[in-house]
Structure 1
Amino acid sequence: MEDLLKGFPVITEIPVAWGEMDALQHVNNVVYFRYFETARLEYFNAINLLVNLGQSQIGPVLSETNCRYKLPITYPDTLLIGSKVIDIQEDRFTMEYRIVSKKLGKVSTVGQATGVMFDFKNNCKATLPESIKNSILELEAKAD
């Protein structure tokens, strides 16, 4: 399974909960966005973005996200979610996610999300802080 997540510097493990399944007996489509959110926050912790947000009042807001479902996931299972940054611009960055089912040994879901930097103190768009950009580049370099 390591090959399926090669190139992803942060891997988050999440057990599937019984209550996440829908009437068709597979994980409901909306739950995958919560999985992405959990993986995104773990990535943010790895680059100290949340610490920076507390100090600078500048952090990302989600501007868009998407998900492609490849295989249905059912309880019980444990998922490995790889996250990485695939694009950095002056005021935003785009992340890619890959969900691997331990039970199936396959990629079940892929997705992306773009976060735009926002200055919460002045209520306006902001530039990606250089320290965060450098942290992203350092973390991504470790995954190659």
Structure 2
Amino acid sequence: MDNFRQTHPVHSEIKVAWGEMDALQHVNNVAYFRYFETARLDFFNQFNLLDELEKTAIGPVISENNARYKRPVTYPDTLLVGVSVSDIKADRFMLHYTVMSQAQQAVTTVGSSQVVMFNFKTGKKAPLSNELLAILHRYTSETQECRNEV
């Protein structure tokens, strides 16, 4: 676990709920997108990125989500969901998620989300701010390390 925390400095701890399991007695695939959302919002909130949405009406929207399930997870368990960044463009970037099971001491799921900045006043894409670009670039180099270990 310590190695996971070192290679994923931005991560969220999520307890698996009994109700997230399905009839096959493992966490339903839909729950992972909620885990990704929790980790993504924790990432944004860590840097107060959603504060800008209130001021400028420009904020992140998801244009694509992906998940790859490697191992089933069951209740009870606590998951660490690591977040890293790649593919930074003028108006978008990719977030990567790595889900680690404390009970199994193994990576169970990996995923990604394409995040596009959107101006809610104009209804059009918006460029990434300089502040956001600086934050994203801090976590880009770690992405390769995280994806290479999976």
TM-score category, normalised to shorter length: over 0.9
The aligned residue for residue 63 of structure 1 is 63
Give CA-to-partner distance per residue, 1:105-138, whole Å, 9 cap, x none.
0000000101111000111111111111112224
User: What fraction of aligned residue pairs are identical, expressed as a percent?
Assistant: 52
The aligned residue for residue 44 of structure 2 is 44
The aligned residue for residue 122 of structure 2 is 122
Q: Is the 8 A contact 2:101 2:107 kept in 1?
A: yes
The aligned residue for residue 4 of structure 1 is 4
Normalising by the residue count of structure 1, what TM-score does the alignment of the two structures yield?
0.93
Q: Residues 5 and 86 (structure 1 numbering): CA distance in 2 closer, same or farther, change over 3 Å? A: farther
Higher helix share: 2
Residue identity opposite 1:46 in structure 2: Q
Give CA-to-partner distance per residue, 1:72-121, whole Å, 9 cap, x none.
00000000000011221100010000000000000000001011110001
Unaligned segments of structure 2, at least 5 residues? 146-150
**Helix, strand or coil at the partner of 1:111:** strand
Unaligned segments of structure 1, at least 5 residues? none
The aligned residue for residue 148 of structure 2 is none
Q: How many residues align?
A: 143
Query: Greater RCO between the two (CA within 8 Å, min separation 6)?
Result: 1
Normalising by the residue count of structure 2, what TM-score does the alignment of the two structures yield?
0.89
The aligned residue for residue 98 of structure 1 is 98
Q: Write the distance in 2 (CA, Å) between the matches of 1:76 and 1:133.
A: 38
Q: Write the distance in 1 (CA, Å) between the matches of 2:141 and 2:113.
A: 21
